[in-house]
Amino acid sequence: MPQEDPPSPPPKPPAQPRHGSDGAVVVERKTARTKPPQMFQVVLLNDDYTPMEFVVMVLQHYFRCDLETATLIMLKIHHEGRGVCGVFSKDVAATKVELVLAAARRAGHPLQCIMEAA
């Protein structure tokens, strides 16, 4: 069985030509650097009408918190007026906000959920 040559490496990015002091062309390589996406935190706001059990259920269902963690976040919301449920990319955070608001409306609760830059 004939041996196969190893695959060739991927092509290198194009070089940017630059003229040196003697007129010769000097080649420099520029690497593209991408920034990580900006992250957003999803925040639940306290109100006087939404039951604590509903908030715990929302935290468990939409943010995958266990019962203990959900209870701790719910108590933070209750005592401090707001609590961070998680940090996500912009699209994921916006989707979670919409899902929580829709669930609260279906249940007839005025629970408010917002997202803000982390």
Structure-block tokens of residue 99: 């899902």
Dihedral, CA of residue 50, residue 104, residue 101 and residue 54, to nearest 10: 60
Q: What is the pTM of this model?
A: 0.71
pLDDT tens-digit readout, 77-95 = 999 999 999 999 999 999 9
pLDDT at 14: 60
The residue extents of the domains of the chain are 39-117
H or E segment at 25? strand 25-28
pLDDT tens-digit readout, 17-50 = 565 666 677 677 778 888 899 999 999 999 999 9
In this model, does residue 16 exceed pLDDT 90? no
In this model, does residue 56 exceed pLDDT 90? yes
Q: Which fold has domain 39-117?
A: Ribosomal Protein L30; Chain: A, (3.30.1390)
pLDDT at 31: 82
